[in-house]
Amino acid sequence: MAKRTIVTMPGDGIGKAVLDETLRVLEASGFEADYVEGDIGWEFWKKEGNPLPERTIKLLEKHKIGLFGAITSKPKDEAFDELSDELKDKSLVYSSPIVGLRQHFNLEICARPCKTYKGNPLNFIRRGKGDEVEEPLVDVVIFRQNTEGLYGGVEWSNPSEKVYDAFMTHPKFKLNFGKTPKEEVSISTRIFTKERTYNILKEAFEHAKKYGYKSVTLCEKPNVIRETSGMMYKMALEMQKNDYPNIELWNTNIDAQMMWLTKNPEDYGVIVAGNMFGDIVSDGFAGLIGGLGFACSAQWSKEGIAVFEPTHGSAPKYADYETSIVNPIAMIESACMMLDFIDEKSIAKKIRIAIAAVIEEGKVRTYDMKKMRGKADVVNNGAASTKEMADAIIAKL
Ligand code: NAI
Ligand code: MG
């Protein structure tokens, strides 16, 4: 069989460091592939006025599978200031290239697993009944709708007359906002469609079925956000009844869920939510299993284009350290999700076993696992560097 080609997109800041180490781990695992690098991120915004050049889109179109590090996004005005001078009069507006990728390829399904590693000093602990300390084992996968909702990008400040007038036809808009001058109104919409809502629910239930999770929890707010969350809840009820009678459907509100998170996280299995609530609840669960150094993700389209990335950002303050200090596990785990996706499950399993062994042994720990403040000198004080963590995992392989 011909070797597969993976599009690597290191992006900005620590993205490159974690991706480089991940590629070493992949190589050591026996996974065979060719890699082509796709340009993405701040550098290309500054130089070309486009953080997601067309050539990168073409690469992904061709090879289908991407490994992405992280990018830096900055507010509108700052982005404009950093644009190279000859591009400043071209009315360019910065928008996040990773959001751009999701929308361009309709990477509508996002999965974010959060699973406790035994021996991780960052595991959440709580006090139990007799005051004893308990360490709940979390094994949750969050399915987040990745392209619509509040992050769909349909928004205005000082909307046009036409838009404003349309909103004024809604009695609640008229009542609550109708007296505010148009220039002082900013609107971000939350649009859900039936098709994509169905797709994310279906993936969530299918995952629960395939991997034996006993419940799917819809984490929205249907009692208040009646049209969008409400539609999702109704569709989930129907799907459960018709297609998955053996899987329980739980319904929690996002705010209450964030509170229950620390009370009984071990009770949850698959969680499904719209874009923003999925983003929030997945960060919440990630906090229970070690935080951003451990939070991995996959996103894919129905057409089979898929991008795998750690949940964390580019952590610019650590980007210029001579020795990279950040934890590469989130990126390596994301690569394992890629291996699962392309049916290299046994290699993914092997890497996860190696990671588990390093964590349980406890000899090699990055600064976050050592509970140190992230500074350039953490490596001199006993924390493993990004490379040393990857080396330890490779040694276990
Ligand atoms: P961040 O995730 O880059 O960093 C937050 C903090 O988390 C860091 O200061 C560090 O203490 C810790 N951290 C992150 N990754 C870590 C790792 N692998 N190991 C150990 N500790 C780690 O988020 P922040 O500071 O809010 O954003 C920085 C930049 O990243 C911004 O420009 C933001 O827009 C961008 N960003 C990009 C994302 C992406 O590429 N998908 C996601 C989130 C933020
Ligand atoms: Mg997030």
**Which atom of ligand 1 has the smallest separation from the CA of 72?**
32
Q: Which of 9, 112, 307, 314 to mutate to test the pocket of ligand 1 (most atoms within 8 A of CB)?
A: 314
**Which two tokens mark 295?**
């939070």
Q: Ligand 2: distance of its center to the CA of 282 in Å?
A: 8
Ligand nearest to the CA of 70: 1
Task: Assess whether the C-beta atom of 292 lies below 6 angstroms from ligand 1.
Answer: yes
Query: Does residue 374 register a pLDDT over 70?
Result: yes
Length of the chain: 397
Task: Assess whether the C-beta atom of 72 lies below 6 angstroms from ligand 1.
Answer: yes
Task: Assess whether the C-beta atom of 204 lies below 6 angstroms from ligand 1.
Answer: no
Sign of the alpha-carbon torsion through 124, 14, 12, 318? positive
**Which two tokens mark 324?**
């990279």
- Segment 204-234, tens digit of pLDDT: 999 999 999 999 999 999 999 999 999 999 9
The residue whose CA is least distant from atom 42 of ligand 1 is 313
Q: How confident is the model at residue 3 (pLDDT cuts 50, 70, 90)?
A: confident
306-310 vs 296-300, strand pairing mode: antiparallel
Nearest 5°: the CA angle 189, 113, 388 is 120
Ligand nearest to the CA of 313: 1
Instruction: Give me the amino acid identity at 3.
Output: K
Q: What is the pLDDT of residue 155?
A: 94
Q: What is the pLDDT of residue 198?
A: 98
Domains of the chain: 1-109+298-397 (3.40.718.10), 124-151+192-288 (3.40.718.10), 155-188 (no CATH)
Q: What is the pLDDT of residue 76?
A: 84
Please give the average per-residue pLDDT across 90-117, as a whole number.
Answer: 95
Q: How confident is the model at residue 61 (pLDDT cuts 50, 70, 90)?
A: very high
The residue whose CA is least distant from atom 31 of ligand 1 is 72
Q: How confident is the model at residue 190 (pLDDT cuts 50, 70, 90)?
A: very high
Please give the average per-residue pLDDT across 322-342, as a whole number.
Answer: 97
Task: Assess whether the C-beta atom of 73 lies below 6 angstroms from ligand 1.
Answer: yes
**Which atom of ligand 1 has the smallest separation from the CA of 367?**
20
Q: What is the pLDDT of residue 2?
A: 72
d(CA 6, CA 307): 10
Q: What is the pLDDT of residue 75?
A: 87
**Which two tokens mark 208?**
């629960």
Q: Ligand 1: distance of its center to the CA of 29 in Å?
A: 27
Q: How confident is the model at residue 251 (pLDDT cuts 50, 70, 90)?
A: very high
Q: Which of 292, 294, 321 to mutate to test the pocket of ligand 1 (most atoms within 8 A of CB)?
A: 292
**Which two tokens mark 311?**
């949940």
Q: What is the pLDDT of residue 1?
A: 62
Sequence-distant (6+) residues with CB within 8 A of 231 are 192, 194, 197
Please give the average per-residue pLDDT across 323-340, as a whole number.
Answer: 98
- State whether residue 267 is helix, strand or coil: helix
Are the C-beta atoms of 337 and 111 separated by less than 8 Å? yes
- Alpha helix stretches (DSSP H) within the chain: 15-28, 42-48, 54-63, 76-82, 97-104, 161-168, 171-177, 194-211, 228-243, 254-260, 275-288, 316-319, 329-341, 345-361, 386-396
The overall average pLDDT reported for the chain is 96
Residue holding tokens 């996103």? Answer: 299
Ligand nearest to the CA of 309: 1
**Which two tokens mark 390?**
């990857």
Ligand nearest to the CA of 281: 2
Instruction: Give me the amino acid identity at 196.
Output: R
- Segment 14-53, tens digit of pLDDT: 999 999 999 999 999 999 999 999 999 999 999 999 999 9
